[in-house]
Every structure is written in structure tokens, then in C-alpha cells.
Amino acid sequence: MLHPIHRAIILLTAARAMRCPHTQLRLRLGAAEIRDTAAALVSGLEAAATDIESGNAQDALAAWTRATDAVAVGSAEVCLPALVATDAAARDAGAAAKRSIIDAFGTCYGRKALYDAIKASETTDPLLARARDKHVARFEANGLALADAAAREQVAKLKLELGAECAAMEQEINGDSSTVALTRDELEGVPAALVDALPVGDGDKLLVSLKAPTLTPVLQHARDPAARRKAYIAGTSRCPENARRLNRVVALRAQIAGLLGFASHAEGTLKGNMASSPDEVNAFLDRVVTRLKPKRDEDYASLLALKRSETPGADALDPWDTAYFGRQIRESKGIDEEALKPHFPASEVVPATIKALGEDLFGFTVRGPLDDAQLWHDDCELYEVAKDDIIVGHVALDLKSRDGKFGHQMVVPLRPALVNGAPNCCAVLGNMGDANGRLRFREVETLLHELGHVFHALAGAPKPSILGWAWPMVPWPGGVEMDMLEVPSMLTQQFVYAPAVLA
């Protein structure tokens, strides 16, 4: 008979690896399970590449599509923990898993024989033809179109280093839980409820988290400019090692662009976009600046006048002044974000918002939150989205801030919708709400923005993963065109200004 402790360990492990009954994803893997699963995904991808190169695959394009789709479907189980896990070992294993998958794709997209086989593939399926062209572009971005073998090897080497630097930057930010220590006197003007909820540090200091739900109201309300300066500088100088990494990333990108025949990284990145050259982008930005400058100057003058009322003789705004005096201007117009918060309880706003967008705007049926979902944290909620009684996807919401979690807001694709595959699944990661579960007006706007991404993802028809809704936060190659990525979400966030929606 098993000892009770051994039985408990077995049950705990089984529960951790349990599949969510709705998404069929295992979203509570431990570090060892993450490592084993990631190794299997990488091994499968590399084996498929070898089969294609050796001529064992009857249809090279179909085989490579199946292999890349399999990694896309399985990667969330091992990579998401890097962003959300409360266990540091699982976060580290998730980061390493993501790096291993990115490196595996990078290596495969640097294999000349694989490139030749995919490029030579013929198909009458328009989706597969588009997928082939996308794959070929990936190979060529790794230098496979270069005639010089030494140059190809150099691009591959630099790309691996670039990926490692980017991954290290990302994980440094994800794991950051920095605070700035301020006294109650320095926090004068900040809402009492927020101040009273702050943890106590050494002496009479209170610890202010540098994540947005805490830092933003401090910058907006602290009357002491020295305190605001301290908080602002702390917030903008987190993860100092990333400064070195960023400089190296810029240098690597320029070096790779030169090897690929581009004048700059920007020129290579913009290839194929609607604005397809740096000159077009700069011309657009110049037009925007020209049109906005009169309003910018007017706003600057208003903010500076307010600063002079508190600091006579001030001749310029500092970066830590904008939020503080901007809040005063809004309040002078009857807009008090603190007073608005009781009108936006997350427990009501979140389900109402997802259902309003999903049902009223896009014509889906939205069900949830689902009581029996098995997600990665008890704070998470899962919603089911259907069209004509057919499930088209699921969306997981993880909106509360916590230590070790990704510190901003974004949508993470968890699984693309594949032809003859399971439905789409994605997650909204946020850092929203105060200690009482109330949202700021801007957080409601952010929620609408992120849900715009969600329904953009869920509305897409099943297709190969390289054509699916994805962006570079995931390790697999996909999907939506980068100059289109923000368009739906920038539209849906505008609903926060519609009285009918707020009502």
C-alpha cells in the first residue's frame, strides 16, 4: 500500500498535469513536465525536417505543415508558464522551453535541403500555397537565398544570439517585482485606500510596486515632485541589465540586415508591409506630427501653466509631471478617475464586455465564465465562444496583477484553429484593478482593446498555423500581418467612449 504522502504527491502531479475539459490543454505543468514536453516537441520538428530532407516524406509541404502545426498546438503548455506561473522553477523551465522551440525553428529554417524541398513543393490548395510562400520567406530571412555559404552560416549564428538576447530581456521583465520605497509624507495626495494597502518596508517606508495598477495612481496623485521623480525613475529603470542587451540587439539586427542585403533592419522588417519602406513610414509619421503639433503645443502650455501654479518660475515639464497635471486637467473638466472606479467593478464589467463585443458586435454566442475550467491560476476565468452552435474557440482571462507574472497587458495565442483540428484558444494577460476589484477607466479601454485582438483571432477560419493569428510573443511562426495586428483592437477600444456601451 502506498504511503499517504506518496499518494498525495501522485495526486498532486496528476492534478497539475490535468487537461482542461474545455480547451484540452494541460496548463499546470511542473518544471520537469515542461522540460520533457518541450524536448518532445523539438524532437518531432527536427525529425520531420530530416525526413523531408532525406526524401522519406511523400509531400514535403504537407509534412512540414503538419510538423509546424503540431508544435504550434503544443507550445502553450510549455511556454505560457514563463509568463504566468507562480512557481519560479516552472517560470524558468517555461522560458527555457520557449527558447528551445525558437532555436529549433531557427535551425530548421536554416537548413538548405529543407528550404529547397519546401520551395519546390507544388499544390493546388490556395491555403497551402500561401503557407508555402510564408515558409519560404522564413527560410530566406535566415539567409537561405544567399549564394555564399559562409554568409548563410553567419546569419544563422547571429540569429541564434539575437534570439537568446531577446529571450533574456523578456524573462528579466517577466520576473521583475521591483518596488520603490516611499514614506507616507511622500505619498501625500495618493488615495488613502491604496496607501493603506501598501506593504511596509524598512522603517517608515512603504513599498510601491512598479506595476501599473499601483505606480500609475502614485504618479497621478503624489503632490511631492521629488517623490514622483523617484517613482518615475524607478519605474523606467527596472531591469538595468536589459540596457546592455538592447544595445546588443540593435547591433545584431543591423549586422543581419547588412548580410541579407538591406540598408537597415527597418528596411528588411518592412518588406511586404503596406508601408513597405522606411521612407514611407517616416513620411507618414511626419504627417501625423505636423497635424498633431498645434494640439500638442496647446496641451503642453496648459500642463506647464498648472506646474507654474505649484512651482513658480518653472520653465519646462519633467516626465514625472505629465500624469500628475494631466489628472488635474481631467478633473477640472469633471473627469475624476478615482470617482469613476466604483462604476467599473471587474466582476461585472469583464463578463459584460466580452459578451457585448462577442454577441452584439460579432454575432457569436459567449458562455462563461465556465465553472469547471482547469487553468493555471485560480484568478483565471474561461469563456466559450460559439457560432451557430459550433464552438469556434475559448478565451482565458488572467487580469489581476501578481508577483512573477508578465507585467503589462497582451493577448497570447494558446492554440491556432487548424483545418480538421481543435478550435482556437487564446488568453488575455493583464494587470488591472485595485485591491477592491475596481477598474480604472483606462483599464476598461485596455480590456476592450485586448478583446479586439481576441475576436480577431477567433473570427478567423481554420488554416495552417503559419497563417493563423499569432505574433512574435509565441515561439512558432505565424500568422497575422504585423501592420494589421493592431487595427481591430484600436477600433474596439473606441467603444469605451460610447455612452450606450458604458450604460
Q: What is the pLDDT of residues 23-37, one digit of tens each?
A: 999 999 999 999 999
Helix axis angle, 278-310 to 322-332, nearest 10°: 70
Strand 179-182 to strand 206-209: parallel, antiparallel, or no bridges (unpaired)?
A: antiparallel
The mean per-residue pLDDT over the stretch 118-122 comes to 96
Q: What is the pLDDT of residues 74-92, one digit of tens each?
A: 999 999 999 999 999 999 9
CB 341 within 8 A of CB 335: no
Helix axis angle, 60-79 to 88-108, nearest 10°: 160
Specify the 3-state DSSP secondary structure of 392: strand
Q: What is the pLDDT of residues 338-347, one digit of tens each?
A: 889 999 999 9
Q: Would you place residue 2 in the very low, low, confident or very high pLDDT band (cuts 50, 70, 90)?
A: very low
Specify the 3-state DSSP secondary structure of 45: helix
Average pLDDT of the chain?
91
Q: Is 137 exposed, middle or buried (0-12, 13-18, 19+ CB in 10 A)?
A: middle
| Radius of gyration, CA atoms only, the chain | 25
Residue type, 338: E
Cell of 491: 477600433
Within a 10 A sphere around the Cβ of 83, how many other Cβ atoms?
24
pLDDT at 463: 92
Whose cell is 533592419? That residue is: 265
Q: Would you place residue 43 in the very low, low, confident or very high pLDDT band (cuts 50, 70, 90)?
A: very high
Q: Is 203 or 367 the better-scoring residue by pLDDT? A: 367
Residue 171 CA to residue 35 CA, distance in Å, equals 17
Q: Judge whether residue 352 has pLDDT over 70.
A: yes
Closest CA to 115 of 91, 139, 151: 139
Closest CA to 427 of 82, 176, 42: 82
Residue 216 CA to residue 90 CA, distance in Å, equals 30
Q: Judge whether residue 12 has pLDDT over 50.
A: no
CB 69 within 8 A of CB 75: no
CB 405 within 8 A of CB 429: yes
Q: Judge whether residue 494 has pLDDT over 80.
A: yes
Residues 6 or more apart from 167 whose CB is under 8 A from it?
95, 98, 99, 102
Q: Give CA angle at 370 (367, 375), nearest 5°.
A: 130
Q: Would you place residue 17 in the very low, low, confident or very high pLDDT band (cuts 50, 70, 90)?
A: low
Q: Would you place residue 1 in the very low, low, confident or very high pLDDT band (cuts 50, 70, 90)?
A: very low
Instruction: Measure Cα distances from 406 to 48, 83, 390 in Å.
Output: 33, 5, 32
Q: Is 436 exposed, middle or buried (0-12, 13-18, 19+ CB in 10 A)?
A: exposed
CA atoms within 13 A on the CB side of 303: 18
Mind giving me the DSSP string for 280-321?
Answer: HHHHHHHHHHHHHHHHHHHHHHHHHHHHHHHSTT--S--TTT
Q: Judge whether residue 150 has pLDDT over 90.
A: yes
CB 314 within 8 A of CB 304: yes
Residue 302 CA to residue 291 CA, distance in Å, equals 19
- For residue 200, give the DSSP letter: B
pLDDT at 184: 96
CB 278 within 8 A of CB 266: yes
Whose cell is 501599473? That residue is: 212
CB 344 within 8 A of CB 351: no
Q: Would you place residue 11 in the very low, low, confident or very high pLDDT band (cuts 50, 70, 90)?
A: very low
Q: Judge whether residue 16 has pLDDT over 80.
A: no
CB 488 within 8 A of CB 453: yes
The mean per-residue pLDDT over the stretch 98-118 comes to 94
Q: Judge whether residue 179 has pLDDT over 60.
A: yes
Specify the 3-state DSSP secondary structure of 391: strand
287-296, 301-310, 493-502: lowest mean pLDDT where? 493-502
CA-based torsion, 429, 434, 437, 442: positive or negative? negative
Strand 410-415 to strand 381-387: parallel, antiparallel, or no bridges (unpaired)?
A: unpaired
- Reported pTM: 0.84
pLDDT at 405: 87
Q: Judge whether residue 484 has pLDDT over 60.
A: yes
pLDDT at 18: 80
